[in-house]
Structure formats: C-alpha cells, structure tokens
Amino acid sequence: MTDKLKPLRDQIDAIDAQILDLLNQRAKVAQEVGHVKAETRAPVFRPEREAQVLRGVAERNPGPMGGREVQTIFREIMSACRSLEKRVTVAYLGPSGTFSEQAVFQQFGSAIETLPCVSIDEVFRAAEAGTADFGVVPVENSSEGAINRTLDLLLATTTVISGEVSIAVHHSLMTKTGTMDGVKIVCAHSQALAQCQVYLNLHYPHVERRAVASNGEAARLASEDASIAAIASEMAGEQYRLGVVQAHIQDDPHNRTRFAVIGHLHTNPSGDDHTSLVLAVPNKAGAVYNLLAPLATHGVSMTRFESRPARIGTWEYYFYVDVEGHVQDAHVARALEELKHNAAFFKILGSYPVSL
Ligand SMILES: O=C(O)C(=O)C[C@]1(C(=O)O)C=C[C@@H](O)C=C1
C-alpha cells in the first residue's frame, strides 16, 4: 500500500510545485495590471473579464475535473490576484453565515474585506457612499418572488448594478442540541419561514414561528437558547455550532435566490449579459403593450417583468424589466432608445454578465 502510494504522492508534489510556480507568475502579471490601472485610475474589479475567464476555463476544461470545480478554483485564483491590486470591500446583509454572504464569496472569492450590514438599506448606503466598493443585495427568490425593499432602493439611489449572482438556497432546521426536544419557537427571516411553510405546517404546526432580521441572526439566537430552533444554511449552523434536526426543508427543492452586485461601476460587455431597467407609463389602455413593443421589433428578449406600486396615491406602477444583452450592444441600444420615448419614466439600472 505505502509502496504504491509513494510514487503517486511524489508525482503530486512535483505537479504542486509547478502549479505554485505558475500561480505566482500569474500573480506578478496581475500586479503589473494593477500598476497600469493605478496610472489610469481604472477600476480594479472587472466583472466582465472575470466572467469571460470563468466561462473560458469551463469551456476548455478537458476533465476529469468538473467544470464547476474548475470555476471555483479559478474564482479563488482571480480573487487572490485581484487582492494584490486592491482588496475590495463588499457590504452585504449580515451577520456572517447568511445566504447573502455566500453570494458575496461566490462572486468575489474569499480574498476580500466584508462589511456585514443590519439591513438592505444599510448595504445600499455603504455602496452609495463608498464605505464599501460594492454591495450584494437579494433581488428575487424563485419561490417567494421579488425582494421589494431592494427594488425600491434600486429606483431611489444612485447605485448601478454591476453583476448578478444566483445561488441555490437550501434551508436546514437546526438547534443547539440537534433535536426538537423542548423547542418552543422557530426563528428565521420571514422569507425563509415562507419558503418552508409546508414543512413546518406538516411537522411542527404548533410551534410558534418568529420572523427575525436574518437567518444568521436566527442561528445566533438558537445557539444561545435551547428552546429556539433556527432555519438557516448549514454554513450558519456550523458557525454557531448547531446540530441539524433536518436538512433541506425548503418546500421547493430547486429554491434559488438571485442577488445583485451594486456600486458605481458600469460593467463593460462580456458577450453574455443582462440589462435591468425601471420604467413607468401613463395610466391609459395599451400603454404597457406600446412601451415594450420596441423590444420585440429589435429582437431583444425580456427575461423578467415585475411591477411595484409607485406609492404616490394613484394606481400607478413602476415596471422592473430585465432584458438579454448589454446597453452597448447595437440592437439593445436601438430598442432602449425607442422605448425611452414611450416611457413616462426610464432608468437603466445596469448591464452585467449573466450569472454562472
Ligand atoms: O484583467 C484584469 O483587469 C485584471 O485585473 C486581472 C484579473 C485576473 O486575475 O484575471 C483580476 C481582477 C479583475 O477583476 C479581472 C481579472
């Protein structure tokens, strides 16, 4: 056994030496890129370039390593290289252990500074004021729909969307003891309680459900009180040393949440992008139909359409529309130019690479 392992491990050692050498060669080039960027005051984080690198490695990957795993490794390589240029600070809805934090690492890798915030409003404030270089905020959940506070703040603030991240949301029921003995309350963010309601109705119909600021906060509360169970990610459970009563309790096994990366960076085209807009129309028959007609005329596909009351006392709405393509793509630019003429209100929230 040992005799057979030794030569294989020697091979791995030799390959690791080569990988290490190549990683540092790459890091030195990134440092040079950093100097060029510093001279021209160009932004360090370039989501379109990172998306192209990650798509490229997955396409060229001959295996046996999986495409996802290769992307995870290259995400970290780029994060480490980027941190030699500048360590970006990213604000998110904390505390640590939330799905928002998971989205932050999925987008930026781990060589960053994080700024956990107590509310979505605070994430926007940090990104708008420049306390953080970027913010990561939830936009929509596949089972519960839009996160209204985020939609309102995208409209009201000067931040733009520079990127998007989509993550699988798996909720676990967890307690200090790993059992439900003596548990009187289940705590979680209101969205998580809603996403697990069928499970809770079936198994724990008589246990009180209490909405708290985040699932991370729920995990923290459960770690201090054995009569409280938390619904949160297993990552949060590990952090607060909770035992898993039941994993994957979300009603929809394909439950996903989409997050927006917000800041002041106008991302360049990556070749596979989305553009987000907010629109309003005069309150008359056929107005929405006419508003969107230029998209069809110019072959621009709509991937999302959401409405929010304008909250000015009349039955008027803002429409949140996502389309395929980048504002710099000629057909998208032509469609938006026409659409703008039909709209009573028109705001481009940003163009950014489609999430991996
Ligand atoms: O290409 C750049 O602009 C770089 O700074 C290099 C690099 C990378 O490591 O590949 C790092 C950070 C950027 O976000 C994009 C890519």
Do 93 and 72 belong to one domain?
Answer: no
Residue 223, token pair as written in the block: 């770690």
Do 162 and 184 belong to one domain?
Answer: no
CATH number, position 291: 3.30.70.260
User: Is 54's C-beta closer than 6 angstroms to any atom of ligand 1?
Assistant: no
What pLDDT is attached to residue 242? 97
Residue 70 in any domain: the answer is yes
What pLDDT is attached to residue 129? 97
> What letter represents residue 147's amino acid?
I
Length of the chain: 356
CA of 82 to the centre of ligand 1 (A): 6
Do 159 and 184 belong to one domain?
Answer: no
Residue 251 in any domain: the answer is no
Alpha carbons 277 and 323: distance in angstroms, whole number? 8
Question: 192: burial class by Cβ within 10 Å (0-12, 13-18, 19+)?
Answer: buried
Residue 71 in any domain: the answer is yes
DSSP symbols for 245-290: EES---SSTT-EEEEEEEES--PPP-SSEEEEEEEE--SSTTHHHH
What residue owns the CA closest to ligand 1's atom 6? 30
What pLDDT is attached to residue 286? 85
Q: From the candidates 98, 175, 257, 275, which is the catalytic residue?
A: 257
User: Is 33's C-beta closer than 6 angstroms to any atom of ligand 1?
Assistant: yes
Do 330 and 300 belong to one domain?
Answer: yes
Peptide bond connecting 47 to the previous residue in cis, omega within 30 degrees of 0: no
Q: What are phi and psi of 281, to 5 degrees?
A: -130, 155
What residue owns the CA closest to ligand 1's atom 1? 49
Q: What are phi and psi of 93, to 5 degrees?
A: -75, 105
114 is catalytic: no
User: Is 85's C-beta closer than 6 angstroms to any atom of ligand 1?
Assistant: yes
CA 33 to ligand 1: nearest atom: 5
Do 94 and 161 belong to one domain?
Answer: yes
One digit per residue, pLDDT tens: the chain, 356 residues? 568 999 999 999 999 999 999 999 999 999 999 999 999 999 999 999 999 999 999 999 999 999 999 999 999 999 999 999 999 999 999 888 888 999 999 999 999 999 999 999 999 999 999 999 999 999 999 988 999 999 999 999 999 999 999 999 999 999 999 999 999 999 999 989 999 999 999 999 999 999 998 898 999 999 999 999 999 999 899 999 999 999 999 999 999 999 999 999 999 999 999 999 999 987 788 888 999 999 999 999 999 999 998 876 666 889 999 999 999 999 999 999 999 998 999 999 999 999 98
CA of 50 to the centre of ligand 1 (A): 7
Do 72 and 104 belong to one domain?
Answer: no
Residue 268 in any domain: the answer is no
CATH number, position 67: 1.20.59.10
- Among residues 211, 246, 281, the one where a domain terminates is 246
Alpha carbons 332 and 351: distance in angstroms, whole number? 11
CB 214 within 8 A of CB 93: yes
Alpha carbons 238 and 219: distance in angstroms, whole number? 9
Do 48 and 109 belong to one domain?
Answer: no
CB 97 within 8 A of CB 216: yes
CA of 158 to the centre of ligand 1 (A): 26
Domain range holding 76? 2-85
Residue 93 in any domain: the answer is yes
Residue 53 in any domain: the answer is yes
Alpha carbons 188 and 40: distance in angstroms, whole number? 46
Residue 69 in any domain: the answer is yes
Q: Would you give the DSSP letter of residue 354?
A: P
CA of 119 to the centre of ligand 1 (A): 30
Residue 279 in any domain: the answer is yes
Q: What are phi and psi of 154, to 5 degrees?
A: -60, -35
User: Is 50's C-beta closer than 6 angstroms to any atom of ligand 1?
Assistant: yes
CA 77 to ligand 1: nearest atom: 9
CA of 324 to the centre of ligand 1 (A): 24
Do 75 and 95 belong to one domain?
Answer: no
Pairing mode, strands 89-93 and 113-117: parallel
User: Is 75's C-beta closer than 6 angstroms to any atom of ligand 1?
Assistant: no
Do 345 and 283 belong to one domain?
Answer: yes
Please state the domain count of the chain: 4
Q: ipTM of this model?
A: 0.99
Do 179 and 207 belong to one domain?
Answer: yes
- Among residues 53, 85, 117, the one where a domain terminates is 85
| Residue 58 falls in which region: left (phi positive, over 0), alpha (psi -120 to 50) or beta | alpha
CA 265 to mean position of chain CA atoms: 16
What pLDDT is attached to residue 85? 95
What pLDDT is attached to residue 136? 98
Do 78 and 96 belong to one domain?
Answer: no
User: Is 176's C-beta closer than 6 angstroms to any atom of ligand 1?
Assistant: no
User: Is 80's C-beta closer than 6 angstroms to any atom of ligand 1?
Assistant: no
Peptide bond connecting 64 to the previous residue in cis, omega within 30 degrees of 0: yes
CATH number, position 134: 3.40.190.10
259 is catalytic: yes
CB 154 within 8 A of CB 349: yes
- Among residues 85, 113, 147, the one where a domain terminates is 85
Q: From the candidates 134, 259, 267, 275, which is the catalytic residue?
A: 259
Residue 268, token pair as written in the block: 């360049």
Do 194 and 143 belong to one domain?
Answer: no
Residue 306, token pair as written in the block: 């959401």
Alpha carbons 87 and 114: distance in angstroms, whole number? 10
CA of 29 to the centre of ligand 1 (A): 10
User: Is 220's C-beta closer than 6 angstroms to any atom of ligand 1?
Assistant: no
What pLDDT is attached to residue 316? 83
Say whether 22 sits in a helix, a strand or coil. Answer: helix
